[in-house]
A and B are shown apart, each in its own frame.
Chain A
Amino acid sequence: MQIDDTDRRLLRRLQADPGLSVNNLADLAGVTPATCSRRIEKLTAAGIIRGQHAVIDWAALGYEVEVSLRFTLDKTDPRAFDEFLAAARAVPEVTEIQTFLGKVDVRLHVVARDMAQYQQIYRAKILTLPHIADIEALMQVAVIMQDEALPL
């Protein structure tokens, strides 16, 4: 599907505020509501808009600790990735899993209520994950920016 400037304008506005009504979105992007609906439908049908997800503020639920754990895996075992990922998915405190090309193989984003609970999770559920060669922890101090917007 070819994306034109109008599509880009709509997507930019939607990224900034995904909850916008069709009328408000049309207004902001300078198109009629009918054009706006049609374009959004087309972008969704083409799979360019995949969906919308609620973002949870873990701190508001009492999860004060967020840690980015960076793993290097023992890649001499060909099953290392699959088995590590399967085990990581079973840890409820893991909110994100990413795999990489680089020094880091996998990153897990982990939330915990406090440092005591984090230590518990780390010992009982993280260090026991299979095929770990090395772990580095980046403790989150502050979110400076997190809009995850594309520069359309």
Chain B
Amino acid sequence: MIRLDDTDRAFLRALTADATLSAGALGRRFGLSQPAAWRRVKRLQDAGVIRGRRIDLDREALGFGVTVFLGVKLAAKGRISLEDFERAVRAIPEVQLVHHVLGPYDYRLRIVARDLADFERILRRRIMTLPGAGEVEANVLLSEERRAGPL
């Protein structure tokens, strides 16, 4: 596993805040040459520590006024195939995230909708009709913050 020093951690914090920072900008900020900064970023990418980038868009301005987190329980476990459920849920355009979890629910989903009426339509026509879907719990997102984590 990759070992991080303080500079690596500072790089990761900076890139988590702004992934568009160039190697030159990172180097200037942390007192390294541009090539040295570039090598560090490359090493973090090659080790898989930086999995990719996420673009942050203003959902509301783009017409998605509602984000909902769903807990989905499968009905009649054992008789239904997880693969079927997973294939079908991934194909729903409004679904942004699917985590298989252990606990009171089997899957955790994040979905976007234009408004609450649109959400109801997605819930009834797309989620409730998923193969094996049982109990569903919905929580409407009010606010969200992402933290740097244990870096």
Contacts and interface: CB of A to CB of B under 8 A. Distances in A.
A93 B16 contact: no
A138 B144 contact: no
Contact of B101 (A52, A97, A141): A141
Interface of A: 1, 3, 11, 14-15, 18-19, 46-58, 60-63, 68, 89, 92-104, 107, 111, 136-152
Interface string B80-113: 0000001001100111111111111101101010
Contacts of A15: 55, 57
A136 B102 CA distance: 11
Among A89, A138, A142: residue with most chain B CB under 10 A: A138
B12 A145 contact: no
A139 B48 contact: no
28 contacts: A1-B61, A3-B61, A18-B53, A47-B58, A49-B56, A53-B146, A54-B12, A54-B53, A55-B51, A60-B1, A60-B2, A60-B48, A92-B149, A94-B147, A95-B146, A96-B146, A98-B141, A100-B139, A100-B142, A138-B101, A138-B105, A142-B100, A145-B89, A145-B90, A149-B96, A150-B57, A150-B59, A151-B94
Query: Interface residues of B toward A: which range?
Result: 35 or more
A61 B2 contact: yes
B61 A57 contact: no
A58 B47 CA distance: 11
Q: Which 3 A-B pairs have the closest CB atoms?
A: A102-B139, A151-B93, A54-B15
Contact of B89 (A61, A101, A144): A144
B19 interface: yes
Contacts of B140: 100-102
Contact of B49 (A51, A61, A136, A149): A61
A61 B151 CA distance: 10
Please indicate which of the listed interface residues A47, A58, A140, A150 has the most CB atoms of chain B within 10 Å of its own CB. A150
Contacts of A1: 61
B62 A152 contact: yes
A46 to B, nearest CB: 7
B98 to A, nearest CB: 4
Contact of A138 (B20, B96, B103): B103
A69 to B, nearest CB: 10
Given A137-B103, A144-B98, 19 more contacts: A15-B57, A19-B53, A48-B58, A53-B54, A53-B146, A54-B12, A57-B50, A92-B150, A94-B147, A98-B141, A100-B69, A100-B139, A101-B140, A107-B69, A111-B149, A138-B102, A144-B90, A145-B95, A150-B112
